[in-house]
Amino acid sequence: MREDVKLPTPGGADDGVRPLRPADVPALLALARETIPDTMAARLGPRFAERYHRALLEEPSIRLDGYFADGELVGYIVYAPDAAAALRAAFARNRLTFATATLFSLLSRKRLAYVVRLAATVLARLPEPAAAVRSEVLTIAVRRSARGGGALRLEKQVNVPRALMEGAFEYLRAQGVSEIKAFCKPEELDPSANGFVQKSGFELQGRVTRWGMEANLYLKRLGPVTGDSRS
């Protein structure tokens, strides 16, 4: 079980970052639908998305941290010191559940086309970009009101995306991780995500093909641990 520890922030008493729990899944799914509706899990349908996120929560080596403002989830991040190994373990442990959820997703012609493309990528055994860098930020999602000049950000005077990302960096440093990667859609499709990871210190390595789709690959070197870190 993940340790429930809130990181101190300059917001209100109920504000902060803490590990997500199974009870947070409905709020997580609602936030994902609102902010990142075209992820792999979302494209395979709500049943698959729920199974996927519950499997991530059950996998000890995957971290899901949420930012809460007055008890409401306004952002979350998913990351792992060894993302590929952690995802394989999560899928292996829940293979029957995922198989059932995938079958339901095939009832939609649009989802079927996506599954066929994913399967073709897997069967082709295309190499994972930057496979030598095992640590990865898999997902970060933040409600629009908590970004940029949004009302929540102006009212609370906190940078939710930065708090989530810095919390991930702090944890990974404590685990001995020296380099981390992240993938974004090409700049023309998602300029804000690319701008954010660049501001977070990631450097663009180039455009790659991953899961049959084009993406920008970013890498970041993590410095040594400073001060107290989460365990």
In a domain, 11, yes or no: no
In a domain, 4, yes or no: no
* Confidence bin at 40 (pLDDT 50/70/90): low
Which CATH number characterizes residue 150's domain?
3.40.630.30
Q: Which domain holds residue 177?
A: 16-221
List helix spans (H) across 20-105.
25-35, 40-43, 46-58, 83-93, 95-105
Residue 134 has pLDDT above 90, yes or no: yes
Taking the C-alpha atoms of residue 126 and residue 144, their distance in angstroms, rounded to an integer, is 35
Query: According to the model, what pLDDT value does residue 115 have?
Result: 56
In a domain, 194, yes or no: yes
Query: According to the model, what pLDDT value does residue 78 have?
Result: 96
Select the more confidently predicted residue: 191 or 7. 191
In a domain, 9, yes or no: no
Question: Is the separation of the CB atoms in 47 and 104 below 8 Å?
Answer: yes
Average confidence (pLDDT) over 185-205: 94
Structure tokens belonging to residue 167:
């919390």
Residue 11 has pLDDT above 60, yes or no: no
In a domain, 226, yes or no: no
* Confidence bin at 59 (pLDDT 50/70/90): very high
In a domain, 7, yes or no: no
In a domain, 10, yes or no: no
Total residue count of the chain as it appears in this document: 231
Average confidence (pLDDT) over 94-105: 64
Select the more confidently predicted residue: 121 or 52. 52
Select the more confidently predicted residue: 209 or 177. 177
Measured from the Cβ of residue 84, the count of other Cβ atoms closer than 10 Å reads 12
Q: Which one, of 50, 49, 45, 53, lies nearest residue 20 by Cα?
A: 53
Who's near 151: CB < 8 A, 6+ residues apart? 145
Its sign, for the CA torsion 128, 214, 190, 198, is positive
Task: Look up residue 218 and give its amino acid.
Answer: Y
Select the more confidently predicted residue: 138 or 104. 138
Q: Tens digits of per-residue pLDDT, 139-194?
A: 999 998 888 777 777 777 788 999 999 999 999 999 999 999 999 999 999 999 99
Structural domains counted in the chain: 1
In a domain, 163, yes or no: yes
Query: According to the model, what pLDDT value does residue 3 have?
Result: 43
Instruction: With residue 156 as reference, give the H or E element that holds it.
Output: helix 151-156
* Confidence bin at 211 (pLDDT 50/70/90): confident
Residue 15 has pLDDT above 50, yes or no: yes
Q: What is the mean pLDDT of the chain?
A: 81
Task: Look up residue 131 and give its amino acid.
Answer: A
Distance of CA 223 to the CA centre of its chain: 21
